[in-house]
Structure 1
Amino acid sequence: MSDYIRSYEHILLAVDLTEEANLVAAKAATIASNSGAKLSIIHVIEPLSFAYGGDVPMDLSNIQTQLEEHAHKRLESFAANMSVAPSNLVVATGHTESEIHRQAETLGCDLIVVGSHGRHGLALLLGSTANSVLHGAKCDVLAVRVGDEKTKS
């Protein structure tokens, strides 16, 4: 049975930098520590043009640059609490799922850790980031349940 248990070498933690990200980060850090794996962290910003359907009557590049700079600072602060080196941090711009997949492949990660709100019914059918990451990943994916989901007795 012990041959079946897998030890990870490089874990990619995908965070949205909300408070819930701390729960997901704690799980990823524990797994990395227990398996001696390298831990990298990614935060993805969707381009402002996505919100406006690409048909924007003004140049948003300066605002987008400011958003990216702010995200870098927040991610560095977040990672400092976990002792993750700045060289292992990625702020990407694009579709969240695609960027997570791309970085996982580029970095040679064998596990992606993401947060999941455990949606059911219509919310699940509409999709979630965790679900999209799972279905397109070429490595293992761990979805850590977060949010206001209460335990039912």
Structure 2
Amino acid sequence: MSQYTHVLAAVDLTEEAQQVARRAAALAQASNAKLSLVHVVEPLTFAYGGDIPVDLSEIQQQLQQQATQQLQALGDSIQVDEANRHVLTGSAVTEIHDIAEELGADLVVVGSHGRKGLALLLGSTANGVLHGARCDVLAVRVAD
């Protein structure tokens, strides 16, 4: 295995995020690499297609705040400096690719559910990260 210099753990902040973060932390420690965390909050307009005639900005702001708090707790648990914790808004795949390149990450760690069948091997986000990344990607199988 090559020595990595910057490991980026892309987490979804579900219960399984702890598994992904711990694996990324172990890899970073083994390589004496910098470790960063990223979580992407998708805009509510992505989910609803802008069809709801309601201002969702307050709810979006609350989602950002919750994600920041959860990422802070996760970062604290694996000793990631606050400066290396990133909560972004946008398309998860695009934002993960962009931050990986911006940070100079040479390994992105994502979670994947071990479902049956080749098509279900990776979730859509993990699959998208894998296929568009300019660095190594590790898909950590998380418990269902």
CA-based RMSD of the aligned residues comes to 1.7
Q: CA deviation at 1:87?
A: 0.4
Q: Which residue of structure 2 lines up, in the alignment, with residue 7 of structure 1?
A: 3
Q: CA deviation at 1:118?
A: 2.5
> What is the CA–CA distance in structure 2 between the aligned matches of 1:109 and 1:74, rounded to whole Å?
22
Question: Residue 21 of structure 1 is aligned with which of 17, 22, 34?
Answer: 17
Larger radius of gyration: 1
Correspondences of 1:57-96 after superposition (within 5 Å): 57-96=53-92
TM-score (norm 1): 0.88
> What is the CA–CA distance in structure 2 between the aligned matches of 1:122 and 1:137, rounded to whole Å?
20
Match of 1:82, as an amino acid?
Answer: I
Gap regions ≥5 residues in structure 1: 149-153
- 1:101 partnered with 2:97: yes
Match of 2:126, as an amino acid?
Answer: A
TM-score (norm 2): 0.93
Q: Secondary structure at the match of 1:6?
A: coil
Q: Secondary structure at the match of 1:113?
A: strand
> What is the CA–CA distance in structure 2 between the aligned matches of 1:44 and 1:58, rounded to whole Å?
23
Cα distance change of structure 1 residues 19 and 9 upon mapping to structure 2, 3 Å threshold = same
> What is the CA–CA distance in structure 1 between the aligned matches of 2:118 and 2:37, rounded to whole Å?
30
| Mapped contact 2:13–2:70 kept (Cα < 8 A) | yes
> % of aligned pairs identical?
61
Q: Which residue of structure 2 lines up, in the alignment, with residue 116 of structure 1?
A: 112
- 1:141 partnered with 2:137: yes
> What is the CA–CA distance in structure 2 between the aligned matches of 1:41 and 1:74, rounded to whole Å?
11
The count of corresponding residues between Structure 1 and Structure 2 is 144
Match of 1:52, as an amino acid?
Answer: Y
Q: Secondary structure at the match of 1:22?
A: helix
| Mapped contact 2:20–2:110 kept (Cα < 8 A) | yes
Q: Secondary structure at the match of 2:24?
A: helix
- 4+ residue stretches of structure 1 with deviation over 4 A? none
Q: Secondary structure at the match of 1:79?
A: helix
